[in-house]
Amino acid sequence: MTIVCDPIGVIHTPFQTSEGMPIQPTGAAGVQGTVEIYEKFAEGLQDIDGFSHLILLYHFHQSHGYKLQVVPFMDTCTRGLFATRAPRRPNPIGLSIVRLLRVEGRHLQVENIDVLDNTPLLDIKPYVPVFDAQEQVRSGWLENENRDVSHQRADCRFSDEDSGS
């Protein structure tokens, strides 16, 4: 089976390299960016301005190869890839929940963005608390210690220098 995803736009941020950037949107508090929607998809933005937050699905375009066992940014122990949010994955798809500041034509001004500049955007979904917020949530290995993601930054552990698959 072949799956093809055509980007619907591109995400612009202040982050030119992955090293040193926030690893989650909560660590990017206040960081602003622009989501540029390609002209042929602009009509799909109708009514999006009524939502305060958006779910961005994007392609980790600078991520190559993967390992099924990784040491995630917030840990020193090896974990199964699918129990982490490590960027190097069999299907390099990322997800971020961002705050929508305003809509300017086919450009969305957003905040709390933790994405590398010029990242291809695959899809946008509105964040709807009644659909998306869950009760009685467990956070697996992340519950073991008090981990503050707000100051955590990416290092080189998922860069191409260590790209063995």
pLDDT tens track for 8-41: 999 999 999 877 777 766 777 788 999 999 999 9
The H or E element containing residue 17 is none
Mean pLDDT confidence for 70-79: 82
The whole-number pLDDT of residue 12 equals: 98
**Are 54 and 98 in contact, with CB atoms under 8 Å apart?**
yes
The tokens describing 99, both together, are: 């705050």
- H helices within the chain, ranges in order? 129-132
Is the per-residue pLDDT at 57 higher than 60?
A: yes
Assign 141 a pLDDT band (cuts: 50, 70, 90): low
Higher pLDDT, 165 or 162: 162
Other C-beta atoms closer than 10 Å to the C-beta of 63 total 20
- CATH code of the domain occupying 9-143: 2.40.30.70
Could you report the per-residue pLDDT of 88-140, keeping only the tens digit for each?
889 999 999 999 999 999 999 999 999 999 999 999 999 998 877 777 766 56
- pLDDT at residue 146, as a whole number: 56
State the DSSP H helix or E strand holding residue 130, giving kind and residue range, or none if neither.
helix 129-132
CA nearest neighbour of 112 among 7, 2, 45, 33: 33
Cα–Cα distance measured from residue 80 to residue 153, given in angstroms and rounded to the nearest whole number: 21
Mean pLDDT of the 76-88 span: 85
User: What pLDDT is attached to residue 139?
Assistant: 58
| Angstrom distance (rounded) from CA 165 to CA 156 | 16
pLDDT of residue 65: 87
pLDDT of residue 73: 73
What local confidence, expressed as pLDDT, does residue 95 receive? 93
Residues 119, 154: Cα–Cα separation, whole Å: 16
